[in-house]
Amino acid sequence: MTDGGRQPADRSLIARLRRACVGGWEAYIRHRFVRELAAGTLPQPCFRRYLVQDYLFLIHFARAYGLAAFKADTLADIRAAAAGLAAIVDREMDLHVAYCAAWDLSEAEMAATAEADATIAYTRFVLDKGLAGDLLDLQVALAPCIIGYADIGRELAADPATRWDGNPYRAWIESYAAAEYQDVAADHARQLDALAARRGGEDRLPSLSETFRQATRLETAFWEMGFTADV
Question: Using one digit for the tens of pLDDT, what is the confidence trace for 5-58?
Answer: 444 457 899 999 999 999 999 999 999 999 999 999 999 999 999 999 999 999
pLDDT bucket at 230, cuts 50 / 70 / 90: low
Question: Using one digit for the tens of pLDDT, what is the confidence trace for 114-150?
Answer: 999 999 999 999 999 999 999 999 999 999 999 999 9
Assigned CATH for 2-226: 1.20.910.10
What is the average pLDDT value for the chain, to the nearest integer?
93
> In 3D, which of 3, 16, 1, 7 has the Cα closest to residue 140?
16
User: In the prediction, which pLDDT does 5 show?
Assistant: 43
pLDDT bucket at 227, cuts 50 / 70 / 90: very high
User: In the prediction, which pLDDT does 4 show?
Assistant: 44
Question: Using one digit for the tens of pLDDT, what is the confidence trace for 67-111?
Answer: 999 999 999 999 999 999 999 999 999 999 999 999 999 999 999
Cα angle 12, 16, 19 (rounded to 5 degrees) comes to 140
pLDDT bucket at 231, cuts 50 / 70 / 90: low
- Calculate mean pLDDT across residues 141-165: 97
User: In the prediction, which pLDDT does 95 show?
Assistant: 94
The string of DSSP codes covering the chain is: -EETTTEETTTSHHHHHHHHTHHHHHHHHT-HHHHHHHHT-S-HHHHHHHHHHHHHHHHHHHHHHHHHHHH--SHHHHHHHHHHHHHIIIIIHHHHHHHHHTTT--HHHHHTSPPPHHHHHHHHHHHHHHHHS-HHHHHHHHHHHHHHHHHHHHHHHH-TT---TT-TTHHHHHHHHSHHHHHHHHHHHHHHHHHHHHH--GGGHHHHHHHHHHHHHHHHHHHHHHTTS--
190, pLDDT greater than 80:
yes
User: In the prediction, which pLDDT does 2 show?
Assistant: 39
The pTM of this model reads: 0.91
User: In the prediction, which pLDDT does 7 show?
Assistant: 45
- The domain segmentation of the chain, as residue ranges, is 2-226
